[in-house]
Chain A
Amino acid sequence: MHMREIGAMIRAAWLTETSYRMNMVFSLASLLTMVVPLYFVASALQSTMATRISAESSQYFAFVLVGATIYTFVAACTSALPSALASAIGKGTFEAFLGTPTNWGTLFVGMSGYNILWALVRATVMMAIGVAFGARIAFYGLIPLTLIVFLLVLAYGAVGLIGAALLLRYRTTGPLLNGVLTGSALLGGVYYPTYVIPSWLQQVSKAMPLSYGLRAARRVALLGQPLHAVSHDVILLALYVTALLPAGILCVCISLRYARKSGTLGHY
Chain B
Amino acid sequence: MGTIATSVLTDGALEFAPPAARESTVAVSELTKRFSSRASVREMLRGHFRTVATVVDRVSFDVQEGEIFGVLGPNGAGKTSIFKMLSTLVVPDEGYATICGKDIWTEPAQVRSQLAAVSSDERSLNWRLSARENLLLFAGLHKVPRRDAEALVLAMLQRVGLEASGHKMVAAFSSGMRQRLLIARSMLARPKVLLLDEPTRALDPISAQELRVFLRSELVERQRCTIVLATHNADEAFGFCDRIVVLNKGRVLATGSPSELRARYGEERFRIVTAQPHHPCFARLETMGVMHRLKCDGPGIDEWHTLECSIAGDSSQTASVLDVLHQNGVPVARLERIEPSLADLIARIIAASNGHAHA
What is the interface of chain A, defined by CB distance below 8 A to chain B?
2, 4-5, 7-9, 11-12, 15-16, 19-20, 91-93, 95-103, 107, 257, 260-263, 265-266
Contact = CB atoms under 8 A, between A and B. Distances in A.
| Secondary structure of the A contact surface, majority rule | helix
Given A12-B133, A93-B126, A95-B124, A265 B89 contact: yes
B143 A4 contact: yes
B110 to A, nearest CB: 8
A95 B182 CA distance: 13
B169 interface: yes
A53 B102 CA distance: 63
Nearest to B138: A100
B116 interface: yes
For chain B, give the interface size range: 35 or more
A19 B128 contact: yes
B124 A8 contact: no
A100 B113 CA distance: 7
Contact of A100 (B36, B127, B141): B141
Given A12-B126, A16-B129, A99 B33 contact: no
B109 A103 contact: yes
A16 B134 CA distance: 10
A112 B286 CA distance: 72
Nearest to A17: B128
B5 interface: no
A12 B128 CA distance: 10
B89 A12 contact: no
A263 B33 contact: yes
A92 B143 contact: no
Given A19-B169, A93-B124, A262 B35 contact: yes
Interface in B137-173: 137-143, 146, 169
Contacts of A95: 89, 119, 124
A156 B33 CA distance: 37
B141 A102 contact: yes
B94 interface: no
A268 B119 CA distance: 17
5 contacts: A7-B140, A12-B134, A93-B123, A96-B138, A101-B141
Contacts of A98: 89
B212 interface: no
Contacts, number: 93
Given A260-B90, A260-B91, A263-B84, A99 B139 contact: no
B201 to A, nearest CB: 15
A101 B126 contact: no
Contacts of B29: none
A5 B123 contact: no
Contact of B117 (A2, A93, A99, A101): A99
A102 B109 CA distance: 8
A91 B89 contact: no
Contacts of B87: 99
B106 to A, nearest CB: 14
B55 to A, nearest CB: 8
B46 to A, nearest CB: 23
Nearest to B137: A12
A92 B137 contact: no
B246 interface: no
Interface string B89-126: 11100000000000000000100110011010101111
Given A4-B143, A15-B129, A98-B89, A263 B116 contact: no
Contact of A99 (B36, B81, B112): B112
A9 B126 contact: no
Given A99-B112, A101-B112, A8 B121 contact: no
A93 to B, nearest CB: 6
Contacts of B89: 95, 98-99, 260, 265-266
A92 B129 contact: no
B129 A12 contact: yes
Contacts of A5: 140-141, 143
Contacts of A9: 137, 140-141
Contact of B136 (A8, A19, A20, A261): A8
Given A99-B117, A261-B90, 17 more contacts: A12-B126, A12-B129, A12-B136, A16-B126, A19-B129, A19-B169, A91-B124, A92-B124, A93-B123, A93-B126, A95-B89, A95-B124, A96-B124, A98-B89, A101-B109, A107-B141, A260-B88
Contacts of A97: 141
A95 B87 CA distance: 10
B35 A263 contact: yes
Nearest to B90: A263
